A and B are shown apart, each in its own frame.
Chain A
Amino acid sequence: MKPYLREKKVFTFEDVPEDTSFEAGYLVSVNAGWRSIRPVVDTEKCVGCSQCYLYCPDGVISMKDGKATIDYDFCKGCGICAKICKPHAIGMEAER
């Protein structure tokens, strides 16, 4: 479980509630547009050590069947995962 994308509601000034308006983890916009380079996992080389998952500031890496997978909706392309990866299984590629 993690915060996930929901429908973006349009408010007029009168509609904006005075107290908490949404439940925790209500996301309406992605961060994908921030990237100029993107990490790509080579699943052949990935040994599942989870270091990229541990050090990702955005938490976009999760381990699936012992391999790293990346949520490109929220990855900002900082490249920490590629640097931390000892087997060099993550490479940074230009965003198309």
Chain B
Amino acid sequence: MSVNAKTLDTNEYFYGHKACAGCGGSLAVRGALKVLGKNAVAVLPAGCMSAVGFNFPQLCFANNAIISTFAGTASMLTGIEAGMRRRGIKDFTAVGFAGDGGTADIGIQALSGAIDRNDNIIYICYDNEAYMNTGIQKSGLTPFGAKTTTTPAGQNIHGNIRPKKNMFEIVAAHDIPYAATATVGYMPDFLNKVEKASKIQGTKYIHVIAPCPTGWGIPVSDTIDSAREIVDCGLWYLAEYENGEFTLNKDPKTFTSVEEYLRKQARFKHLTDEDIQLIIDSRDAKWEKIRKNWKK
């Protein structure tokens, strides 16, 4: 059954949290938990979602949830899954919500190990493209050109000089049973991927783009628009990896303007036309490979 606004569980499992207004990450957590239900056991490493969800005595999760070490999201998921199995509990889902830094930098070793063991867990990376919780430092998933406090924009260097790490394909290279990319801008697509993942045995990874108005420098009401635009302009793609094959879910015939997408965000406002051309060229190179090698 496909999940949409009408068929979604009306209970709220992430409520009353202290995330900034318009937070994309909290929308991803809220949506995924509504699909997985009250028997989901959530693991949150250091990051925004653990900082805003557990302000003693305010407990914003209606299901079981625990904070893990920064590096140990996937290993704690492994432990929870094994412990529940040992206790004879069958009806549960072990799900982790780590940010981009907690996934691509600090937690990558534990995630790699969990995929290698093929533990029956769901790992969701909500990607806001920097360490937003600690005040916007560059992570491995910060895109080229973005200004952060550790990659400032100056006369010679225009923000981040390295491209975004390709986490989706790194995970797929482990031959994981299921991996997918999504964005909070297209919630039905994301929610259906979470539902599909919950029915698959083994390790599942979902990478969801979750704009951060504070770190991206956009108005709080623009979260969803930006999350849609990043897909529409081709800087992000909606895809799945299953049974050793990549499938592209959305193949736009024409892309919307990359410049328009970038210029709306304060973190990109220093970019020159040459920088933007570099971003467009790398996008085109990526899409050429995608269209050649991936199923549509």
Contacts and interface: CB of A to CB of B under 8 A. Distances in A.
A contacts with B: majority SS: loop
A10 B22 CA distance: 31
B6 A50 contact: yes
B83 to A, nearest CB: 16
Interface string B250-272: 00000000000000000000000
Interface of A: 1-3, 8-9, 21-31, 34-35, 49-51, 53-59, 62-63, 74, 76-80, 82-84
Given A24-B65, A51-B5, A57 B26 contact: yes
Contacts of B56: 21
B59 to A, nearest CB: 5
B27 A26 contact: no
B16 interface: yes
A96 to B, nearest CB: 18
Contacts of A26: 57-59
Given A27-B59, A54-B8, 10 more contacts: A23-B59, A24-B61, A24-B63, A24-B65, A25-B59, A31-B18, A57-B24, A58-B26, A78-B21, A78-B213
Contacts of B31: 54
B22 A50 contact: no
Contacts of A30: 16
Contacts of A49: 5
B157 to A, nearest CB: 33
B64 interface: yes
A22 B56 CA distance: 9
B284 interface: no
B12 A21 contact: no
